[in-house]
């Protein structure tokens, strides 16, 4: 298991195929091999806030970006986003919604809750890999976050 000091990306994705494609796209482009996958919203928040299965993790450094699916078991991506934005420790943490929904109300709701970017998952593998790569390039290499 990766320690929290090494994690650059928290991928929150319940679909194993989408998770595998995302990881493969990031690694293929040498963007990160320091990634933590959460399979549901509760696990994502447990990781971020060092509770539950992650209560004993060392350190408190946050990932550089959270790639968050909207439709998750136990707690939706919208609920996870709201929890991230209302906590002082994570309120400026970059969150990218990576979802299959093109619905305007979903997009509006995500931005109202403070998402940094909204990416619709392309169906085609190459387009999906390109979208993930572009997001990774920006959030891991170009973006300059505030110092904490």
> pLDDT tens for residues 47-87?
999 899 988 876 567 888 999 999 999 999 999 999 999 99
22, burial (CB in 10 Å: exposed 0-12, middle 13-18, buried 19+) = buried
User: How much of the chain is helix, strand and coil, in % rounded to 5?
Assistant: 45, 15, 40
Reported as a pLDDT band with limits 50, 70 and 90, residue 28 is confident
Q: What is the reported pLDDT for 1?
A: 43
Q: What are phi and psi of 23, to 5 degrees?
A: -60, -45
Class of domain 4-142: alpha beta
Residue 90 is predicted with a pLDDT of: 92
Looking at the chain, which runs of residues are DSSP E strands? 9-12, 35-38, 65-68, 95-99, 117-120
Determine how β-strand 95-99 pairs with β-strand 117-120. parallel
């Amino acid at each position: 298991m990766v320690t929290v000091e090494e994690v650059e990306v928290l991928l929150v994705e319940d679909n194993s195929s989408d998770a595998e494609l995302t990881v493969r796209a990031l690694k293929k482009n040498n963007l990160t091999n320091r990634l933590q996958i959460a399979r549901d919203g509760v696990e994502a928040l447990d990781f971020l806030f060092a509770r539950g299965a992650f209560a004993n993790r060392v350190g408190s450094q946050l990932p550089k970006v959270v790639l968050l699916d909207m439709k998750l078991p136990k707690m939706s991506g919208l609920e996870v986003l709201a929890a991230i934005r209302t906590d002082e420790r994570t309120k400026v943490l970059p969150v990218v919604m990576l979802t299959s929904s093109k619905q305007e109300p979903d997009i509006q709701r995500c931005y109202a809750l403070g998402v940094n970017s909204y990416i619709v998952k392309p169906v085609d593998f190459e387009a999906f890999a390109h979208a993930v790569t572009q997001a990774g390039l920006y959030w891991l290499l170009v973006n300059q976050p505030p110092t904490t």
